[in-house]
Homo-oligomer: A and B are copies of this chain.
């Protein structure tokens, strides 16, 4: 299968390439970048030397349509939507890694991102979290790949939200991300010296991933769910640790909560559950598509604490996109994604 990556010069693009070059069913055919067109990809990303030697080219939809069977778009939000629409119109199946098709409600999109140019596709797009929408993804033309924070937060909360018995009244998500989540464009706030020894919160209670998290949790809970979401920036390259606090019912034990998670994820190959009361670190999932989850119920404060760890570039972006591709194309879901995490 010939695959195109539109917007290949960012960290998400690089990570797509890292995984795709090892995928047995994939042949990379087109890589685009407006800014770096003309450069050889293995000069641009020397880690790829020997694996792929295509040139970055400017985006031409007809070329992509002709030379690729399947397309990943890794463009900024706002830019992605038009490209995706054209590709869909030309009959391509697309996985979009931007935020453009994640929100179902055009008004919500407008409030957080601005006017949407092709709202008709919002309903058709399938939210690409296989742990929730595996069946819908199978036949989708357009999959909206989830955000990195939402992936970690939703997987930490799904079993609790889907349980009709559990009346959850308050959800706090204190998330901590490595710096690659901010992308590869030069900016003051992601300079080494601003981040190192400078741990901080940002976009406190205002981050654009909030409506995405609330949308999906509300769908699963069958009622409107609000969350308090506070992201922090960690001086490391990869990884998101989401510490989730749920004010729980008085009578749940850690073991019962753990069993809920175990049942929920028994058929999901990329969710690994820690033993009851044990929590994951970002190092144990680095470079892999796993989401590791730990759960505990506290006394006497009666909170359910769930901590999930993902690699923001893999399960939080490119790995999940390829997991979606596998589902869409009928390949085994784990194909090309069997990386053992790289620790230390």
From known contacts A226-B301, A228-B303, infer whether A205 and B296 are also in contact, taking CB-CB under 8 Å.
Answer: yes
Q: Given the complex, which residues of B lie within 8 Å of A50, measured CB to CB? A: 272, 290
Asked if residues A198 and B282 are in contact (CB atoms below 8 Å), the reply is yes
A51 pairs with B11, CB closer than 8 A: no
Chain B min CB distance to A81 (Å): 27
Whether A193 contacts B226 by the Cβ 8 Å rule is no
Number of contacting residues on A, CB 8 A? 84
Q: Are B204 and A296 in contact (CB under 8 A)?
A: yes
- Which residues of B have CB within 8 Å of A18? 340-343
> Given the known A-B contacts A192-B179, A204-B279, are A344 and B174 also in contact in the complex, defined by CB atoms under 8 Å?
no
The stretch of A90-98, A120-128, A137-145, A237-245 that contacts the partner chain: A237-245
Distance in angstroms from A304 CB to nearest chain B CB is: 11
A3 cross-chain contacts in B, Cβ below 8 A:
none
Q: Say which one of A69-77, A106-114, A181-189, A255-263 lies at the interface with B.
A: A181-189
Inside 8 A of A232's CB, which chain B residues have their CB?
A: 176, 241, 243
Extra contacts, 9 of them, besides A46-B280, A172-B245, A198-B284 (Cβ < 8 A), are A14-B343, A18-B340, A179-B192, A197-B197, A197-B237, A198-B236, A200-B241, A204-B296, A232-B243
**Which of A205, A305, A340 counts the most chain B CB atoms within 10 A?**
A340
Q: Is the CB of B243 within 8 A of A281?
A: no
Partner of A235, one of B192, B204, B305: B192
